[in-house]
Structure 1
Amino acid sequence: MSEELVVYMNIISPYSRLVMSMLALLDIPHKERVIDTSRGEQKKEWYKKINPKMKIPAIKDGDHIMAESIDICKYLIESRKLKTPAWPVDDRDRNEQMEKDLADFEDLGEATMAVAYKCFYNKVFGKKLASAEETKQYKEDLYKVYDLSEETLSERRT
């Protein structure tokens, strides 16, 4: 692409870190634009034009805009025709297994982030803390995430 690659990210986000790790691994030049999620910057009108779902990360590569960390990583490899063990484009079976593994990672990540956000966001940012009943529900939700993690790992015998 002729224009500079811009990555809209926040280092707190594991999805942003995944994209940033891929960029470092592949040595792809880029510009970082930190999105301050603690101030709701991802909900600003200008960012909605980048990512209508208002999530991070997202990229702008010339005229091409996209979100979702796994899709971004695949796009970076495929659009630049890079050969890397990080994404085996020539090995269909391995590629399919990686797709499944990454989808599982994304599901677990979403569930973990949702619970972590509920549990810690207000405390970290000095907002009103959850009631005892809400805290109990968060704990139950967290156990469900742990169960899902254990199930996923046991299926893989990990």
Structure 2
Amino acid sequence: MVVKVYVDLLSQPCRALVIFLKNTKIPFEIEKVNLKAGEHKKPEFVKITPLCTVPAIQDGDFSMGETVAIIKYLATKYADLVPDHWYPKDLEKRARVDEYMAFHHTGTRGGCCGIFISEILISLFSGGKEHASEERLKIDTENLTKQLDKLENVFLQDNDWLAGDDISVADVLAVSEIMQNTVNGRDVTEGRPKLRAFVDRVKDRLNPTFDEVHEALYAWRDSYEK
């Protein structure tokens, strides 16, 4: 049975899920959902996930949304098709990955996505009529700094990977967020050699798949008017 994966590859969580899947033997096919065109609100998509968010999956008669939940489901159901380092079976090793994923939404994603919304999306979705206030930009910048400090000092410390001695879904989730801010030229790893080395390490480990999945983001970055 082939798992249908509904994604918009301009979305950070969607890219993370697809990269994960491409590094497993889980049979899947991609169904593209254009967020900007509102396709995630169409009745046929609402049947897949009433949350109206991407990514989402359809696995036989079962469907669901939410990236972390999807990854846990797929890694558990198709455990024999997923290299163990992605989401380890060992309880303590898995707990470290879960620990990062519990932090991720308000941590790495909260910091990186907050400033991305303020610097890009507010203007984009208002047709250039609205812009983030200086106060909002200040708050988002401070939060970005705080969350990246935690990423470096708590999860990375002196480690190569965020949640163990090998790459896991934690690393892919984090780097997918970090890459989003490159659209308008912001490098959140600037002045952070440990974080930059980590991002490069993840890219090197996953290429050419990493760049293939990020093609849409790279095209957006190349066309973005700075």
What amino acid is aligned across from residue 150 of structure 2 in structure 1?
E
- Determine whether 1:24 maps to 2:22: yes
**Deviation of the 1:60 alpha carbon:** 0.4
Alignment of 1:1-158 (within 5 A): 2=1, 4-82=2-80, 83-89=83-89, 91-107=90-106, 108-124=108-124, 127-131=127-131, 134-156=133-155, 157=157
Per-residue deviation, residues 38-77 of structure 1 (Å, max 9, x unmatched): 1122122222221222211010000111111122122112
What amino acid is aligned across from residue 12 of structure 1 in structure 2?
L
What amino acid is aligned across from residue 79 of structure 2 in structure 1?
K
Q: Out of 76-85 and 14-23, give the one that drifted further.
A: 76-85
Structure 2 residue matching 1:59: 3-state secondary structure: strand
- CA change 1:14–1:38 in 2 (3 A) is same
Structure 1 residue runs without a partner (length 5+): none
Q: Out of 12-21 and 144-153, give the one that drifted further.
A: 144-153
For 1:118 and 1:44, the matched residues in 2 are separated by: 27
Q: Is the 1:119–1:135 contact (alpha carbons within 8 Å) kept by the matching residues of 2?
A: no
For 2:119 and 2:45, the matched residues in 1 are separated by: 26
Q: Out of 52-61 and 105-114, give the one that drifted further.
A: 105-114
Per-residue deviation, residues 104-154 of structure 1 (Å, max 9, x unmatched): 2232214432441232125446713434x6244134223213212213432
What amino acid is aligned across from residue 54 of structure 2 in structure 1?
I
What amino acid is aligned across from residue 59 of structure 2 in structure 1?
D
Taking only aligned residues, the RMSD between alpha carbons, in angstroms, comes to 2.2
- CA change 1:127–1:104 in 2 (3 A) is same
**Deviation of the 1:21 alpha carbon:** 1.1
- CA change 1:53–1:77 in 2 (3 A) is same
TM-score if structure 2 supplies the norm length?
0.60
Q: Is the 1:104–1:152 contact (alpha carbons within 8 Å) kept by the matching residues of 2?
A: no
- CA change 1:78–1:54 in 2 (3 A) is same
For 2:71 and 2:8, the matched residues in 1 are separated by: 16
Structure 2 residue runs without a partner (length 5+): 159-226
Q: Is the 1:9–1:16 contact (alpha carbons within 8 Å) kept by the matching residues of 2?
A: yes
For 2:146 and 2:72, the matched residues in 1 are separated by: 29
Q: Which has the higher contact order (CA 8 A, sep 6+)?
A: 2
Q: Out of 118-127 and 36-45, give the one that drifted further.
A: 118-127
Aligned length: 154
